[in-house]
């Protein structure tokens, strides 16, 4: 069995649920209390791509910001893939995700990525129009409506990214 290590950074505005998504993905748990991330936290998760290949994802959970700065830019160095996260109940966080994508492209060039529009369990408070999401999909973006709370689409999104990283 061959294992390939890949660095994947999570980017998104504060409070969108990046740390919770990592917790759901790595330990299948959901932390009920919101605790702001400062700096960067690293975690690993190995996913099976096929019978002969596994991807060990080194997940860099970077403190939430609406734009990159010198400190957060340094974390991106050598990143093989990116996960952008927005909060479906806060429209402005999607704008932040788009901004971060632009800045990351300038730093890293084109790398595989997925966009998770998180907190899909809070559908009654949904604030992001489907038209915008459809436009992004038409531009080739891999967009998932996810919920770290229920686990909706978390594994699917990460698996798709892992496949794109090794494929």
Partner 1 sequence: MNKIPFDVRRYLYKQYNEKVIFSYILIDKIDSTLEWSDNVQMLYDLELTQDLPADEQLLFLQGIYPYQETQPFVLSEVVFSSNRAADIHIVPSKYKLCILLFDVTENMLFHQELQQQKNELKLLYEQQKRSMLALKDSYQEIQRQKKFAEHANQAKSEFLRHVTHDLKSPLTGILGFAQLLEFIKEPLPAEANDYIGEIKKSGNYLLSLINDLLDIAKIENSGMQINPELLTISSLIEESISILKPVANKNSIAFINRSNHNLPAIWIDPIRFRQILINFLSNAIKYNRNNGNIIINSYLTHTHSVRINIKDSGCGIHPENLHKIFQEFERGTAQDKEIEGSGIGLSVCKKLTELMSGSVGVYSELGIGSLFWLEIPVAEEQIVAIKPSNALQNILYISDNKVHIYLMNCLLEQRLGSSFLHAQDRQSVLDMINTHRISAILLDMDIFSLNALDIFKELKENEKAKICR
In the complex, the residues that contact partner 1 under the rule CB under 8 A are 5, 7, 14-15, 35-42, 44, 58, 60, 63-64, 71, 74-75, 77-80, 90, 92, 127
Q: Which is nearer to partner 1, 16 or 143 (CB)?
A: 16
Shortest reach from residue 3's CB to partner 1, in Å? 10
The rounded distance, in Å, linking the Cα atoms of 131 and 6 is 33
Q: Which two tokens stand for residue 83?
A: 């996960």
Shortest reach from residue 159's CB to partner 1, in Å? 20
40: nearest Cα among 16, 74, 13, 81: 74
Shortest reach from residue 45's CB to partner 1, in Å? 12
Q: Which is nearer to partner 1, 15 or 151 (CB)?
A: 15
Shortest reach from residue 14's CB to partner 1, in Å? 5
Computed from CA positions of residues 113, 11, 68, 129, in that sequence, does the dihedral angle turn out positive or negative? positive
Q: Which is nearer to partner 1, 76 or 157 (CB)?
A: 76
Burial of 47 (0-12, 13-18, 19+ CB in 10 A): middle
Q: Which is nearer to partner 1, 100 or 153 (CB)?
A: 100
Burial of 70 (0-12, 13-18, 19+ CB in 10 A): exposed
């Amino acid at each position: 069995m061959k294992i390939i290590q890949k660095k994947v950074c999570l980017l998104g505005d504060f409070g969108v649920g990046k740390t919770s998504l990592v917790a759901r993905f790595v330990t299948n748990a959901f932390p009920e209390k919101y605790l702001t991330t400062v700096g960067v936290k690293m975690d690993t998760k190995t996913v099976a791509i096929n019978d002969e290949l596994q991807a060990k994802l080194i997940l860099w959970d970077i403190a939430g910001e609406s734009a990159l700065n010198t400190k957060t830019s340094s974390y991106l160095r050598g990143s093989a893939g990116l996960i952008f996260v927005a909060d479906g109940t806060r429209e402005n966080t999607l704008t932040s995700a788009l901004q971060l994508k632009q800045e990351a492209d300038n730093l890293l060039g084109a790398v595989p990525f997925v966009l998770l529009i998180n907190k899909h369990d809070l559908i009654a408070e949904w604030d992001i129009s489907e038209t915008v999401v459809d436009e992004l999909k038409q531009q080739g973006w891999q967009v998932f409506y996810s919920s770290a709370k229920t686990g909706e689409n978390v594994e699917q999104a990460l698996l798709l990214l892992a496949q794109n990283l090794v494929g």
